[in-house]
């Protein structure tokens, strides 16, 4: 199947729920059709059958992961600050961002490091939002390559990391902190027009960002976990070390004990991992014996040039595998797929596994980690 046929096959069904009208305030999206984990702050994900309907995820079906309520931002007064190890500090208004820099538009997948945490919790309980498999979406992002802004500011020789700071106010340890992230300088300075290492984004799917997704400005870091793509971006700091913000210095690491020593010793997670998920049929759905069409998504490891190479589905516990037809595949992007399997009266579940262009296949099992990050074991869906 070529890309157009595939998109036609998967993108036609109407989406559930209504498209909200967005005001430039802090109000949250109408989330009728999402599985809502918490409302203040908003944490919600789409149902899998909706997620797999289109290669580009509509904003109304895009997961929302926020650590605090959306900040109120006046677009006219807004300035993006650039400081730290730079020759010139910058204070960029929205109109300067639009007029003084050339903009780019890229398609990239955003996924939360905690995607599939719910399954991980079945091994042993894990704290945190119990994400199913929907904390992922593929969108078209428009904005300015981070490298262009850094070039204008003039990065000093000693620079090693670029910090991002949000304008949100998160209650943490008795105080208030913003959400923060940082990325290494080579990633920040990667200025390929087709896929910059990082972007300062103002539009999602060709419309201004909504409050839930970071209006007016966010970063998008293709290939990295969602936590590095800071919403409501207020400040960029060039530094000789990784950010000292809680969400880099402590959270978003793979730990087993989660004591102070381990938090201090472990490195932050940057790239997302090879993964695949069955979206239809959904868990516990009744299926008839005979031929069954299975649909889902697969994600390559978030490394330059890696794409999904093959996806295999099994209806007999992994004894035999059917190769899926793949939709469009590109680096830093998910790939939708469709497979036909033969269901027997004894079938009680479906399995999927993906292999990417580096020849790596998803692991059958993964080691448990205390925070339930980067879960990418073969996805199993029980069916009746």
Ligand X SMILES: Nc1nc2c(c(=O)[nH]1)N[C@H]1C(S)=C(S)[C@@H](COP(=O)(O)O)O[C@H]1N2
Binding marks (x or -) toward Mo ion, 94..133, rule CB under 5 A? ------------------x---------------------
67 contacts ligand X (rule: CB under 6 A) = yes
Our CB check for ligand X shows the closer of 143 and 281 to be 143
Determine how many CB atoms are found less than 10 A away from the CB of residue 20.
16
DSSP-derived 3-state class of residue 182: strand
Contact, 92 vs 236, CB < 8 A?
Answer: no
Closest residue to Mo ion, judged by C-beta, is 112
- As a whole number of angstroms, the distance between CA 273 and CA 277 comes to 13
Specify the residue, 64 or 195, whose C-beta has the smaller distance to ligand X.
64
- In order, the DSSP letters of 326-377 are E----TTS-EEEEEEEEE-TT--EEEEEEEETTS-B--SS----TT--S--S
Q: How far is the CB of 226 from Mo ion (least distance, A)?
A: 4
State in angstroms the smallest separation of the CB of 103 from ligand X: 19
Nearer to ligand X, 75 or 382 (CB): 75
Smallest distance from the beta carbon of 213 to ligand X, in angstroms? 4
Shortest approach of ligand X to residue 179 CB, angstroms? 3
Helix, strand, or coil (residue 260): helix
User: Can you tell me which of 28, 50, 66, 314 binds ligand X, judged by CB under 6 A?
Assistant: 66
Tokens found for residue 87: 């020759």
**232 interacts with, out of Mo ion, ligand X, none, CB within 5 to 8 A per kind:** ligand X
Nearer to ligand X among residue 44 and residue 339 (C-beta): 44
73-112 footprint of ligand X as x/- string (CB under 6 A): -------------------------------------x-x
Query: What character string, x for contact with ligand X (CB under 6 A) and - otherwise, covers 206-235?
Result: -------x------------xx-xxxx---
Residue 272 interacts, among Mo ion, ligand X, none and using kind-specific CB cut-offs from 5 to 8 Å, with none
Contacts of Mo ion in 192-231 (CB under 5 A):
226-227
Classified as helix, coil or strand, 287 is: coil
State the minimum distance, in angstroms, from the CB of residue 194 to Mo ion.
26
Work out the burial of residue 193: count CB atoms within 10 Å of its CB; fewer than 13 is exposed, 13-18 middle, 19 or more buried.
exposed
Q: Which does 166 bind (CB under 5 to 8 A by kind): ligand X, Mo ion, none?
A: ligand X
Q: Taking a C-beta distance cutoff of 8 angstroms, is the pair 196, 149 a contact?
A: no
Site size with Mo ion, rule: CB under 5 A? 4
Cα 155 from chain centroid (whole Å): 28
Candidate ranges 65-73, 80-88, 317-325, 369-377; the one touching ligand X (CB under 6 A): 65-73
Q: Give the shortest CB-355-to-ligand X separation in angstroms.
A: 25
Q: 89 with 153: CB under 8 angstroms?
A: yes
Q: To the nearest whole angstrom, how small is the minimum distance from the Cβ of residue 129 to Mo ion?
A: 8
User: What one-character-per-residue DSSP string does 38-61 give?
Assistant: ETTTTEEEE-HHHHTT-SSPPGGG
Cα distances (angstroms) measured from residue 4 to each of 10, 91, 327, 339: 10, 43, 9, 17
> For ligand X, which is the closer residue by CB, 201 or 383?
201
Least Å distance between CB 324 and ligand X?
A: 26
Pick from 298, 288, 308: nearest CA to 358: 308
Do 221 and 187 form a contact (C-beta atoms < 8 A)? yes
In whole angstroms, the minimum distance from the beta carbon of 293 to ligand X comes to 29
CA distances for 198 relative to 183, 189, 249, 334, angstroms: 9, 8, 20, 18
CB closer to ligand X, 214 vs 281: 214
Residue ranges in contact with ligand X by CB under 6 A: 62-67, 110, 112, 166, 168, 179, 213, 226-227, 229-232
């Amino acid at each position: 199947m070529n890309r157009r046929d595939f998109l036609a096959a998967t993108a036609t069904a109407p989406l559930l729920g209504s498209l909200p009208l967005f005001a430039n305030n802090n109000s949250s999206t109408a989330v009728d059709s999402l599985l809502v984990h918490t409302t203040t702050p908003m944490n919600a994900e789409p149902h899998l059958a909706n997620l797999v309907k289109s290669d580009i995820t509509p904003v109304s079906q895009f997961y929302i992961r926020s650590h605090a309520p959306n900040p109120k931002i006046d677009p006219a007064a807004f300035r993006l600050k650039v400081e730290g190890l730079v020759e010139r500090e910058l204070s960029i208004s929205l109109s300067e961002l639009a007029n003084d820099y050339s903009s780019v538009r890229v398609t990239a997948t955003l996924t939360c490091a905690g995607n599939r945490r719910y399954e991980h919790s079945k091994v042993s309980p894990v704290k945190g939002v119990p994400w199913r498999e929907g904390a992922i979406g593929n969108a078209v992002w428009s904005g300015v390559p981070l490298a262009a802004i850094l070039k204008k500011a003039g990065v000093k020789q000693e620079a090693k990391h670029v910090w991002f700071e949000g304008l949100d106010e998160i209650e943490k340890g008795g105080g208030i902190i913003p959400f923060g992230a940082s990325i290494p300088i080579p990633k920040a300075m990667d200025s390929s027009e087709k896929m910059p290492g990082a972007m300062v984004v103002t539009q999602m799917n060709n419309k201004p960002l909504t409050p839930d997704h970071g209006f007016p400005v966010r970063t998008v870091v293709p290939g990295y976990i969602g936590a590095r793509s800071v919403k409501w971006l207020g400040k960029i700091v060039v530094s000789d070390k990784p950010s000292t913000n809680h969400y880099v210095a402590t959270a978003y690491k793979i730990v087993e004990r989660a004591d102070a020593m381990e938090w201090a010793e472990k490195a932050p997670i940057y790239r997302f991992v090879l993964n695949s998920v069955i979206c239809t049929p959904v868990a516990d759905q009744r299926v008839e014996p005979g031929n069954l069409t299975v649909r889902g998504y697969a994600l390559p490891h978030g490394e330059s040039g890696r794409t999904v190479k093959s996806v295999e589905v099994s209806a007999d516990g992994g004894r035999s595998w059917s190769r899926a037809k793949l939709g469009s595949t590109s680096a830093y992007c998910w790939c939708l797929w469709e497979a036909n399997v033969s269901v027997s009266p004894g079938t009680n579940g479906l399995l999927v596994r993906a292999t990417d262009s580096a020849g790596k296949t998803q692991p059958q099992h993964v080691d448990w980690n205390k925070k339930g990050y980067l879960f990418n074991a073969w996805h199993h869906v029980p069916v009746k």
